[in-house]
Chain A
Amino acid sequence: MNIYDIKKEFPIFDDKIQNNDLVYLDSANSSQKPRIVVDRIYDFYTKEFSNVGRSVHYLAVAATNLYEQTRVSVQKYIRAKDKDEIVFTKGATEAINLVANTFGQKYLSEGDEVLLTELEHHSNYVPWHFLRKAKNIKIEFAEINDDGEVTLEAIEKKITNKTKIISVSHLSNVTGAILPIKEIVQLAHSKNIPVLIDGCQGAPHLKLDMQDIDCDFYAISGHKMYGPTGIGVLYAKKKWLEDLPPYQGGGGMINEVKKEGITYGELPNKYEAGTMATAQVIAFNESIKFMEKIGIQNIEKHEKELLDYGLEKLRKNNSVNIIGNPKEKGGVISFTIEGVHPHDIATILDEDGVAIRAGHHCCQILHDKLNLPATARASFGVYNTKDDIDKLDEAINKCKKIFNL
C-alpha cells in the first residue's frame, strides 16, 4: 500500500493549517476522515434523507436499508455471529454506559465487585462509579507493572468470589499496551464472570474477531475509525441483549405501548431508542469499507513500523522520556521532556503544525500511579508517515531550544 495515496484520500491534508503542512499525531483522540465518509454524509442529506424504521415511503425504506447495511458491515468486520449483536450508540462512552447501567440494574448489588484496570479511560470508570454511588458496589483496579502493561496475572490477583464483571481496555490510549484480552476472557469465563472490552483504541488498529475473543461486550468508537462523530457500536452477545433490560426508553424500541403496560421491541431495536445518528451510521459503512480496502493487517503492519521508527527516534533524543515499555504495543507514544511541561510541548509543536495531545488523556488514575500530572502523546493513524515522526522530533528539538535544554 502507498501511504501517500492513502493520505490523498483525506481532504484535511489538502490545505495548509495555520501555514503549515499538518502533521496529525492525535488519532488516538480522533482520526481524520476520508473523503468518501464526508461525501456520504453530504449525499445522504442532499439526496436520500429520511428517518429510518418508521414510514413506508420510498425514502424511508431506502434509508432503513442503508442503515441496516452498516449493521451487517460491522458484524462482518468484527466477525460477530449475528447482526442483532450490533447495537448503534452515540459512541463507545454510551456503549459502556449502556452495559454498566443495564447489567448493574439486573446483576449488581451491595458489596459486589467490578474489576477494572489502572489503565482505564475515564469512560470505563465513571459509569461504574455511578453504580458505586447508587448501589454501594466496589470497584477494584488491576495494577499496571513497570512497563505500563496489565498482565493476566494482575487481573487474576484481583478476582474474588464477589467479582461480577470485568471491564478492561483492549489497547491503552496512554502506554499503548495491548492487553491479553482473549486470555482474560478465558480466565473470567472459567469463573463465570462476563467481560466487557473497551475497544476504542483496539478497533481502529487491530484485527477483531468477536467469536475468537469470546468477550461478552465490546465497545467501539466510530470517530476513531475514520468515521463520523456521534456514532459508536456496542457488540454484545445475543444472550445478554435478550437478558438485560432496555437502556433508554422512547420511540423505536417498543413492541406495544398501552396505558397499563409496555412491551419492548426485538433486537437490536430494543437498545436503539429515538431517532439515531442516521447519516453518521450510514457514512460509517464507508469507514468500514475504507479500512477493509486497505486491510487491517496492512494497517497494523504500517502502524507497527511507525511505532518502531518513532520509538527509536525519540529514544535517541536526549531528555525525552517515553512512558511505558509494553511488549505488545499499539501506535501510541506518550512522553515527557525533563524540564518542559506537556502543555508547553504541545503549544510549541503546534506552531510547526505538529498536532499532539497533552494532559492526562482522560486517564487520571494512571497518571496518579505514574506520579505524573500530565504527559504529551503522539498517536498514529493510517495516514501518518516517517516524515511526520521526523517533524515531531525536530519540533521537540525546537522545544528544548526554547527552554534552553
Chain B
Amino acid sequence: MDLKDLYQEIILDHGKNPRNLGKFDNYNKDAKGNNPLCGDNVHVYLRLNENKKVEDIAFEGHGCAISMASASIMTDMVRGKEEKEVKEIVTDFLGMIKEKDSLETNILNEDEKTKLMSLSGVKQYPMRVKCATLSWHTLTSALDNSDQIVKTED
C-alpha cells in the first residue's frame, strides 16, 4: 500500500477543484446518493437530448478528495456520450474498482482510461471504495429515473 497510489496528483487536483460542480437549469434527469456511514452526499444532474446523448452533466455535493475527484472525472468523461455508452463506461469502471485490473471498454481512449485508472488506488483501501463509486451509482440511478436515493450501504 502506498498513499501516493491513492492520492495521485490528478485526484488531488480534481478533489480540490472539482469540475462540473453545481447545477444547471434545464436538466431532465437527476438522482441523489449518500453514504450514511460518513455523511458524504452527491446529487447528479444531467440533460439527455432526443438522441439519448448526455448534452450536459453536473453534480452537487460534498465529500472526501476521492469522492469529489471521482464525481469530477466521471462528469467530464460522460459528457457528449450516448446513454448506452455511459452505461458501458459505468459498468467497466465499477468492475475495475471491484476486481478487474484494467478497463476494457473501447469507448474511452487511452488518455481517458489513464485518468479513470487514477482512482484504482482505492482498491487497496476497502473502506474507501464507496467514496469512489457513490457518484457512479448515482449516475446510473439518474439515467434509470429511479426515485430511490442511492445508498452505499445496500
| Residues of A near any B CB (own CB < 8 A) | 339-344, 347-348, 351, 358-360, 364, 367, 373-374, 402-404
B12 at the interface (CB under 8 A from A): yes
Give the residue of A339, A343, A403, A404 whose beta carbon is less than 8 angstroms from that of B38: A343
Interfacial chain A residues near B65, Cβ < 8 Å: 340-341, 344, 403
Q: How far is the CA of A214 from the CA of B37 in the complex (A)?
A: 36
B80 at the interface (CB under 8 A from A): no
B125 at the interface (CB under 8 A from A): yes
Give the residue of B12, B37, B128 whose beta carbon is less than 8 angstroms from that of A347: B128
Contact with A along B1-25 (1 / 0, CB 8 A): 1010011000010001000000000
Check A348–B3 contact: CB distance below 8 A: yes
Q: A344-B7, A403-B7 are in contact. List 19 more A-B contacts (CB 8 A).
A: A340-B65, A341-B64, A341-B65, A342-B64, A343-B38, A343-B128, A344-B64, A344-B65, A347-B6, A347-B125, A347-B127, A347-B128, A348-B3, A348-B7, A358-B38, A373-B40, A373-B41, A402-B3, A402-B7
Give the residue of B1, B16, B41, B64 whose beta carbon is less than 8 angstroms from that of A343: B64
Check B63–A339 contact: CB distance below 8 A: no
Interfacial chain B residues near A343, Cβ < 8 Å: 38, 40, 63-64, 66, 128, 131
B62 at the interface (CB under 8 A from A): yes
| Residues of B near any A CB (own CB < 8 A) | 1, 3, 6-7, 12, 16, 37-41, 62-66, 68, 125, 127-128, 131
Interfacial chain A residues near B127, Cβ < 8 Å: 347
- Listed from nearest, the 4 A-B pairs whose CB atoms lie closest are A341-B64, A343-B64, A359-B38, A373-B39
Check B12–A341 contact: CB distance below 8 A: no
Q: How far is the CA of A344 from the CA of B128 in the complex (A)?
A: 9
Check A341–B63 contact: CB distance below 8 A: yes
Check B39–A351 contact: CB distance below 8 A: no
Q: How far is the CA of A373 from the CA of B63 in the complex (A)?
A: 8
Check A374–B3 contact: CB distance below 8 A: no
18 contacts between A and B (CB under 8 A): A343-B38, A343-B40, A343-B64, A343-B131, A344-B7, A347-B3, A347-B125, A348-B3, A348-B7, A359-B38, A360-B38, A360-B39, A374-B39, A402-B3, A402-B12, A403-B7, A403-B16, A403-B65
Give min CB distance, B130 to chain A, whole Å.
10
Give min CB distance, B26 to chain A, whole Å.
29
Q: How far is the CA of A367 from the CA of B41 in the complex (A)?
A: 14
Check A404–B12 contact: CB distance below 8 A: yes
Give min CB distance, B142 to chain A, whole Å.
22
Q: Of residues B39, B40, B65, which shows the largest number of chain A Cβ atoms within 10 Å of its Cβ? A: B39
Check B39–A364 contact: CB distance below 8 A: yes
Check A367–B39 contact: CB distance below 8 A: yes
Check A373–B62 contact: CB distance below 8 A: yes
Check A339–B16 contact: CB distance below 8 A: yes
Q: Which of chain A's residues has its CB closest to B38's CB?
A: A359
Q: Which of chain A's residues has its CB closest to B128's CB?
A: A347
Q: Which of chain B's residues has its CB closest to A359's CB?
A: B38
Q: Which of chain B's residues has its CB closest to A18's CB?
A: B1
Check B37–A359 contact: CB distance below 8 A: yes
Interfacial chain A residues near B68, Cβ < 8 Å: 341
Interfacial chain B residues near A404, Cβ < 8 Å: 12
Interfacial chain A residues near B64, Cβ < 8 Å: 341-344
Interfacial chain A residues near B40, Cβ < 8 Å: 343, 373-374
Interfacial chain B residues near A347, Cβ < 8 Å: 3, 6, 125, 127-128
Q: Which of chain B's residues has its CB closest to A345's CB?
A: B64
Interfacial chain A residues near B62, Cβ < 8 Å: 373
Interfacial chain B residues near A339, Cβ < 8 Å: 16
Give min CB distance, B38 to chain A, whole Å.
5
Q: How far is the CA of A113 from the CA of B6 in the complex (A)?
A: 49
Q: Which of chain A's residues has its CB closest to B62's CB?
A: A373
Q: How far is the CA of A344 from the CA of B68 in the complex (A)?
A: 12
Check B38–A351 contact: CB distance below 8 A: no
Q: How far is the CA of A359 from the CA of B152 in the complex (A)?
A: 15
Check A403–B12 contact: CB distance below 8 A: yes
Q: Which of chain B's residues has its CB closest to A404's CB?
A: B12
Give min CB distance, A336 to chain B, whole Å.
12
Q: Which of chain A's residues has its CB closest to B7's CB?
A: A402
Interfacial chain B residues near A344, Cβ < 8 Å: 7, 64-66
Interfacial chain B residues near A374, Cβ < 8 Å: 38-40
Check B39–A359 contact: CB distance below 8 A: yes
Q: How far is the CA of A351 from the CA of B66 in the complex (A)?
A: 16
Give min CB distance, B8 to chain A, whole Å.
10
Interfacial chain B residues near A341, Cβ < 8 Å: 63-65, 68
Q: How far is the CA of A402 from the CA of B5 in the complex (A)?
A: 12
Give min CB distance, B141 to chain A, whole Å.
21
Q: Which of chain B's residues has its CB closest to A373's CB?
A: B39
Interfacial chain B residues near A402, Cβ < 8 Å: 3, 7, 12
Q: How far is the CA of A336 from the CA of B42 in the complex (A)?
A: 21
Interfacial chain A residues near B41, Cβ < 8 Å: 373
Q: Of residues A341, A360, A402, A404, which shows the largest number of chain B Cβ atoms within 10 Å of its Cβ? A: A341
Interfacial chain B residues near A358, Cβ < 8 Å: 38
Interfacial chain B residues near A342, Cβ < 8 Å: 64
Check B3–A351 contact: CB distance below 8 A: yes
Q: Which of chain B's residues has its CB closest to A343's CB?
A: B64
